[in-house]
Chain A
Amino acid sequence: MIECRGLRAGYGGREVLRGVDLRVSPGEMAGLLGPNGSGKTTLLHVLSGVLSPTAGTVRIGEREIGDLRPKERAGMVAAVPQRAGPVPGMTVTSLVLLGRYPYLSLLGAYGARDHAAAQAAMDETGITPLAGRQTEALSGGEFQTALLARALCQATDILLLDEAAANLDVARKAAMHELLRKKNAAGLTVLSAVHDLNLAALYCDRLIFLKNGRVLADGPTRTVFTRAIVEEVYETTFHVFAHPVTGVPQGVVVPGGGPGAGGR
């Protein structure tokens, strides 16, 4: 479970999150949406311990996030970062194995269990054929998938994703989300920041819209994905319709609407 109350956070003197109240229950799969600079990455950084809140409380499970030791926290929350770069000289296998860091003993040696977890994660994400490849030699999408494998290898109850599918083609995007749904059905709590509104609507049961560092709308996908809300969030003109096969809401931008045009 993730719970934020009155959460404020930012970088230096610049406040990005201005009072976020949010609760994600175990087993939920939620999409985090909002325009650039609305605070999605900042929120995920707070939830993964990278950034400390300046005010408010954040709980992971039953505990205040600041009270968790780093390894404890990393055993509860895994994250797939945005804009990560490959590391020269690191193979895919060694990258995925780093997901086992929270469970390593003082000597830091990998055991049979760690290797098995890494293998399973690479199999699930379909990157086993790339296992021995150097991370610099991967395409953007392959590297992103390797990062997902690392996060799964971390074996946590909560998974945070920050534009994890951004570099993938349409089919791989869908495949990655099918996998996330499968893991979600098996009990994984997923909070995924995405720009692709329609992708989020297709795969998430719940959508959370951030704007200017606050939660503007939050609820079941079919309830909150309305023209009024997305137009308010993105300040542009939308046409919202039901997906012809699944019936979930989908939206397309109406040309000429531009930011600030609002209206009809």
Chain B
Amino acid sequence: MPRLALFAMLLTVPVSVLAGCLAGPYPVPWQAVLGILAGGREYDPAFVTVVVQMRFFRVILAWLVGAGLAMSGVAFQGVLKNPLAEPFTLGVSGGAAFGAAMALGLGWNLGWAGAAFFPGLSVVPLCALAGSLLALAAALALSRGAGGASRETLVLAGIVVSAFLSACISLFKALNEESTASIVFWIMGGFQGRGATDVWLYLPYFGLGTLVVWRYSRELDVLALGEAQAVQLGVDAARVRVRLLAAASIMAGAAVSVCGVIGFVGLAVPHLVRLAFGASSRGLLALSGMLGGTLLVWSDIVARTILPGGAELPVGVVTALLGGPFFLFLLKRRAGNGS
């Protein structure tokens, strides 16, 4: 069953990419889109620019970010044994946004020499990563301080951290007399104007995170049994947990540094996959990655086509609109189970 599902999900990738390259205020005939994607350059140069520079890399970035956020959600939910955990609810995304906004605001947007070859090593994403890890540590410490890391306390702590940091971003930006648009960008992220550079920036972190999470996916199954049994089965629980948390934070933090905070993808996607297929960690990771990518590509299509006159909605607005009710549904379902 998951094999068939995986195959079906794989099919959605080219379909979504194609749809993403077709959609937009500037009409490009579908024959031209197909031709340009296939490598043909004999078309109207305006078409080529729109399809390749404005759409294709943006779609790829949206897919990678969606996949990264979803896999990050799988890892957080598994390690923390908390069905409500994801980068957004844990404050990880907020921390990353804070780090990145500070770096940009303080004019630290300078790469060292290596950044010219490897954009991922420039200051902004590194500050985003530091911010995400610090925010996660703060949320975990807060929830422990508030009497045990129960599911609700942890999410509550994450939301407190998140709200506090977005207030800091707003204040910082306002004091620097920046436009509200740049504040909104960090709090409600989007892909407007994103392109190839951002793909290259995100790709290494996406790759590293995916590798680590995949490597420890069997351990995620064992950790689901609880700490004591995991140790009895030979899992180095403390080490595995730290590595998975770091990998999940890196995937989510680096995503924020290229496109701002996009909530609920990491929450909703793993649950949808579990509801539909009930897969083990491996299947769950693969299917969630695919679905997360597809979902974000389509959310981005909605975000840039729904408003008249070529205006764009931040994609974070679309995912929050879809994700908020889903979060409530999960809460209610858990209350109904009495667990």
Contacts and interface: CB of A to CB of B under 8 A. Distances in A.
B partners with A? yes
Contact of A50 (B222, B231, B274): B231
A106 B216 CA distance: 9
B233 A74 contact: yes
A255 to B, nearest CB: 37
Contact of A70 (B218, B221, B234, B280): B234
A101 B280 contact: no
Contacts of A73: 234
Interface string B220-253: 0110111111011111100000000000000000
A78 B232 contact: yes
Given A87-B225, A101-B218, A81 B279 contact: no
18 contacts: A70-B236, A72-B234, A74-B234, A79-B229, A81-B228, A81-B229, A84-B226, A84-B229, A85-B226, A87-B225, A88-B278, A89-B278, A101-B222, A102-B233, A106-B215, A108-B215, A108-B217, A108-B219
Contact of A48 (B215, B217, B231, B280): B231
A75 B234 CA distance: 8
A50 B232 contact: yes
A108 B224 CA distance: 16
Interface of A: 45, 48-50, 69-75, 77-79, 81, 84-85, 87-90, 94, 98-99, 101-102, 104, 106-108, 134, 154
A70 B279 CA distance: 27
Contacts of B232: 48-50, 74, 77-79, 81
B85 to A, nearest CB: 15
Interface in B182-235: 215, 217-219, 221-222, 224-229, 231-235
Interface string B37-74: 00000000000000000000000000000000000000
Contacts of B233: 74, 98-99, 101-102, 154
B218 to A, nearest CB: 4
A89 B235 CA distance: 20
B217 A84 contact: no
B286 to A, nearest CB: 14
A104 B222 CA distance: 13
Interface of B: 215, 217-219, 221-222, 224-229, 231-236, 274, 278-280
A188 B130 CA distance: 50
Contacts of B231: 48-50, 70
A71 B234 CA distance: 4
Q: Is the interface of B mostly helix, strand, loop or mixed?
A: helix
A53 B110 CA distance: 51
A36 to B, nearest CB: 19
A101 B219 CA distance: 9
Contacts, number: 66
Nearest to A41: B228
A134 B280 CA distance: 12
Nearest to A73: B234
A74 B215 CA distance: 20
A166 B216 CA distance: 33
Given A50-B231, A78-B232, A94 B280 contact: yes
A29 to B, nearest CB: 20
B270 to A, nearest CB: 11
A134 B274 CA distance: 13
A252 B278 CA distance: 48
B231 to A, nearest CB: 5
Given A81-B228, A88-B278, A94-B221, 11 more contacts: A49-B231, A70-B234, A70-B235, A74-B234, A77-B232, A81-B232, A88-B274, A89-B278, A94-B280, A98-B222, A98-B233
A73 B233 CA distance: 9
Contacts of A78: 232
A238 to B, nearest CB: 33
A107 B282 CA distance: 11
The 10 closest A-B pairs by CB, nearest first: A74-B234, A108-B218, A102-B234, A71-B234, A89-B278, A79-B232, A70-B236, A101-B233, A48-B232, A50-B228
Contact of A98 (B217, B225, B227): B225
Contacts of B218: 101, 104, 108
B337 to A, nearest CB: 10
Contacts of A89: 274, 278-280
A74 B229 CA distance: 11
Contacts of B215: 106-108
Residue among A50, A84, A99 having the largest count of chain B Cβ atoms under 10 Å: A50
